[in-house]
């Protein structure tokens, strides 16, 4: 199976040895997106809604570069530093979809890279 790496400067560079996304078998596998503003290299704020919005914007930018969109997302995984943020994250997350939501998992984790409060990954169809 052929694979293709997807990279864009409209989303933050990987913070480790991985690609922003990989295309394989008609799908785009987007690595977990921290809420890093690609213009500044920093988190936009400490507010979980703003952080979630930034992670989703990063996902959207990578999907656009790959030739697809949020409408084609079939599965997401959300990692939260604090599950008490679940409702606020859901509010922002839902605004990125048109009422037809992908399958999803959400977990509270002990820690995320760079001390982030949220990280979101996705799989989308081309």
pLDDT tens sequence across 8-62: 999 999 989 999 999 999 999 999 999 999 999 999 999 999 999 999 999 999 9
74, pLDDT greater than 90: yes
Burial class (CB in 10 A: 0-12, 13-18, 19+), 20: buried
Positions annotated as catalytic residues are 106
pLDDT value, residue 1:
81
User: How far apart are alpha carbons 70 and 61 in whole angstroms?
Assistant: 10
The domains of the chain are located at 3-125
101, pLDDT greater than 90: yes
Given a contact cutoff of 8 angstroms between Cβ atoms, the answer to whether 62 and 53 are in contact is no
pLDDT value, residue 121:
98
pLDDT value, residue 37:
98
pLDDT value, residue 39:
96
Distances (CA, A) of 26 to 4, 18, 63, 124: 11, 20, 13, 9
96, pLDDT greater than 90: yes
Mean pLDDT of 100-107: 97
| Homologous superfamily in CATH for domain 3-125 | RutC-like (3.30.1330.40)
Residue with tokens 């990279």: 7
Q: Please choose, from the candidates 21, 32, 27, the residue with its C-alpha nearest in 3D space to the C-alpha of residue 1.
A: 27
pLDDT value, residue 99:
83
Rg (Cα) of the chain, in Å, rounded? 14
């Amino acid at each position: 199976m052929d694979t293709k790496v997807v990279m864009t400067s409209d989303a933050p560079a990987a913070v480790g040895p991985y690609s922003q996304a990989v295309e394989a078998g008609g799908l785009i596998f987007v690595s977990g997106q921290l809420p890093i503003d690609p213009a500044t290299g920093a988190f936009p704020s400490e507010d979980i809604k703003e952080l979630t919005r930034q992670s989703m914007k990063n996902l959207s930018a990578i999907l656009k570069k790959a030739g697809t969109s949020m409408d084609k997302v079939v599965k997401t995984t959300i990692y939260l530093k604090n599950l008490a943020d679940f409702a606020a994250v859901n509010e922002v997350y839902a605004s990125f979809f048109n009422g037809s939501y992908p399958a999803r998992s959400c977990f509270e984790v002990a820690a995320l890279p760079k001390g982030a409060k949220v990280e979101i990954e996705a799989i989308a169809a081309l």
